[in-house]
Structure 1
Amino acid sequence: MIAYDHPDAAKLIADLQQVYVDRYGDQDITPVDPEEFAAPHGHFLVGYLDGAPVACGGWRAHDTAFDSVVPGDAELKRMYVVESARGRGLARLVLAALEEAASAAGRRRLVLETGTLQPEAIALYTRAGYRRIPNFGVYRCEPNSLCFAKELRPAPVRGAEPRAVAGADGT
């Protein structure tokens, strides 16, 4: 885990915002407070290759219902892999780590918004089991927005792993 405003995270997020400008003509309009990504109500991570930051993503908790978001959800934000590191499965690794962290924090579902001009993101999320939901928040009426959700598996309870127990007859 790394702070949302850590210099490596900030660089990747700035690169991602440029992708939004290139594809949509403007940066992401979602208001974000870096504190939202701090434990226990959020999580942000940066992936490195050869010491260089190449991937990022995070989630922030939602404990108030609005639109198609319900209490207990976590919203996925700022998923990004630099162009030179794409095609290596890093986005899948980041997504899996974020799902695991959200589940461990007691979140029941991950929700997200992506755009119609991001086919690689749409493919990633649908392959990972995300399903379309009604658009929410600032994207509720945006024609270029698509929202998705995935139910998370509950995190295993420590010490609750199944154990073999021998019967009285040794079986």
Structure 2
Amino acid sequence: MENILKRTDSTHADFQQLVGLLDAELRELYGQKQENYTALNIVDRIPVVLCYREQTPIGCAGIKEVNALEMEVKRVFVRPDYRGQGLSKILMQDVEQWARELGKTALILETGKKQIAAISLYQTLGYHVIENYGAYVGNDNSICMKKML
């Protein structure tokens, strides 16, 4: 089965569908605490990469401008039945390349402490833990990471 990547933006219906599944999964994992992140996860027309298999949207990742040199990785998700196939890595590599094409020199991200697989993925890809930034400062449930491109 071939993976097809499509660059679009966060208004795309397939992205919205995948983000709905992601939000449901995060609510299950974090319970009421997840409501604190709702406002932080709003993405208005940001660049996103969608992954398809036979026209089925199976994964996504986005990037949001922070400043002239950095973007923040947002809303990385792969449907549970497609995990373990390296799709998150493929999505992350594509958003990294896209950020480079946009002239950025670094990517930052936030993930939750319970998302062990995500933390491992980011470390494998060369991200390192940094001080929590922005709205995540003082939040002991968040881990922030950065990678120079």
Q: CA deviation at 1:33?
A: 3.7
Relative to its length, the structure with more strand (as a share) is 2
Q: Secondary structure at the match of 2:8?
A: coil
- The aligned counterpart of 1:19 is 25
| Aligned: 1:143 with 2:120 | no
Q: Distance in 1 between matches of 2:86 and 2:43?
A: 28
Matched to 1:59, the amino acid is I
C-alpha RMSD over aligned residues: 1.1
**Richer in helix (by share):** 2
Match of 1:55 in 2: 59
User: CA–CA distance in 2 between the matches of 1:20 and 1:31?
Assistant: 12
Larger radius of gyration: 1
Q: How far apart are residue 31 of structure 1 and its match?
A: 4.9
Structure 1 gap ranges (5+): 38-42, 64-70, 153-171
Q: How does 1:31-42 map to 2 (within 5 A)?
A: 31-35=41-45, 37=46
Aligned counterpart, 2:69: 72
**TM-score, scaled relative to structure 1:** 0.78
Deviations 1:82-137 (A, max 9, x none): 00100111000000000000011001100000000100000000000000000012
Instruction: Judge conservation of contact 2:41–2:74 (CA < 8 Å) in 1.
Output: no
The percent identity for this pair of structures is 30
Contact 2:18–2:77 (CA under 8 A) maintained in structure 1: yes
Task: Report what 2:116 is aligned to.
Answer: 119
In structure 2, give the amino acid aligned to 1:73: E
Aligned residues: 139
Inter-partner Cα distance in structure 2 for 1:99 and 1:45 = 11
Task: Return the offset for 1:61.
Answer: 1.0
Q: 1:45 and 1:148 mapped to 2: Cα distance?
A: 20
Shift in Å, 1:32: 2.4
Task: Select between 128-137 and 25-34 the one with higher mean Cα deviation.
Answer: 25-34
Looking at structure 2, the residues matched to 33 and 129 of structure 1 have their Cα atoms a distance apart, in angstroms, of 25
Matched, 1:8 2:35: no
CA distance in 1, matches of 2:15, 2:41: 17
Cα offset, 1:51, TM superposition? 1.1
Moved runs in structure 1, 4+ residues, more than 2 A? 26-29
Letter paired with 1:47? C
Partners of 1:102 and 1:124 in 2: CA distance: 18
Kept in 1, the 8 Å contact 2:41–2:75? The answer is: no
* Aligned partners of 2:132 and 2:144 also within 8 Å: yes
* Aligned-partner SS, 1:129: coil
1:18 and 1:138 map into 2 onto residues whose CA distance is: 22
Q: SS at 2:62's partner residue? A: strand
Asked if 1:130 is matched to 2:127, the reply is: yes
